[in-house]
Amino acid sequence: MIQKIILDCDPGHDDAIAILLACASPELEILGITTVAGNVPLDKTSYNALRICEAAELHHIPVFAGMSRPLVRTLFTAEYVHGKSGLEGPTFPEPKRKLETDHAVDFIINQVMNDKDPITLVPTGPLTNIASVLIREPKTAERIKEIVLMGGAVYEGNVTPSAEFNIYVDPHAAKVVFDSGIPITMIGLDTTHQALATPERVAKMKALGTPISEMVIGLIEFFQGHHRLKYGMPGPPLHDPCAVACVIDRSLLTLKPMAVEIEISSELTMGRTVCDIWGTTKRELKAQVATAINADRFFELLTERISRYPLP
């Protein structure tokens, strides 16, 4: 069965690859791409989404700009990872089309409330848009099929010792989402740091010899700079495509139901996803939390889908 999804993102190198994976997958119907401030400010994440769609000739997929700042906190961005534009590395064509006029939050609400089929939301950036949807129209919580998100960590963070970037940027939004009662699948750093674009895996993409595969390689090569310096990794982790891959083929990941609480009080641990691995607290099991991914199968899927460009 084809799943209807909305991609909510903050492109971002790995967001860009997630978009390409989703749009080349016949298992998914992409209703739209919504953007949020995160890796870089909203004007740049929105422009980057348009540039990706232009490069891949995804002219049929509408792009909607969303929230420009977190619900409570000041925006924290990641140019130190993604470069000034948020999408440094390859050269992108200038977009020929503009953003849709509707706000991303309005678009999501209208789609969720009016579509005859349940919709899965796939956020790969801060959860500000999704929380704003739930705050503005609480009835959406009853109609969203699932939220499959990239964010959080069971153990270590990446922007602080406690917190992963997407949750840290807007922890208050994350709390709204995790407390909503909507089925949630959380794919955090513990899993995405297993999905490394190693030289061997990149070589298989390079062998495709297409403009899109070369663009993906350019994204990976720039993204690698930060991860080699900070973590000594042999290749960068492709965080956001893991969330899309989970929607395509859930068997790629090992998942465990857990109670998950979002820390919003302590500056030391702000944005931590407190995952009760062993059920110690007896709290409500709010999410299916990924603990592992079959990285070889994931990269086989990604490479095969990248090979489909240009799409018919």
Pick the CATH number of 3-306 from 3.40.1400.10, 3.40.640.10, 3.40.605.10, 3.90.245.10: 3.90.245.10
- Name beta bridge partners: 260: 275
Let me know: does 164 contact 271? Beta carbons within 8 Å. Answer: yes
Per-residue model confidence (pLDDT) at position 159? 96
Q: Mark out the alpha helices in the chain (DSSP H runs).
A: 13-23, 42-55, 79-82, 104-114, 128-136, 140-143, 165-169, 171-178, 189-192, 199-206, 211-231, 239-248, 295-306
How many C-beta neighbours within 10 Å does residue 100 have?
16
Per-residue model confidence (pLDDT) at position 63? 98
Task: Look up tokens 């495709």; give the residue.
Answer: 208
Domain range annotation of the chain: 3-306
Q: pTM of the full predicted structure? A: 0.97
Of 66, 3, 55, 67, nearest to 33 by C-alpha is 66
- Give the pLDDT confidence of 232-264 residue by residue, as tens digits: 999 999 999 999 999 999 999 999 999 999 999
- Measured distance CA(272)–CA(156) in Å, rounded: 9
- Measured distance CA(76)–CA(78) in Å, rounded: 7
Per-residue model confidence (pLDDT) at position 229? 84
Let me know: does 139 contact 30? Beta carbons within 8 Å. Answer: no
Which residue in 82, 193, 227, 239 is the catalytic one?
239
Quote the DSSP letter at residue 252: G
239 catalytic residue (yes or no): yes
Q: Which residue numbers in the chain have pLDDT < 70? A: none
Per-residue model confidence (pLDDT) at position 97? 95
Q: Tell me phi and psi for residue 261, to 5 degrees.
A: -120, 145
Per-residue model confidence (pLDDT) at position 1? 85
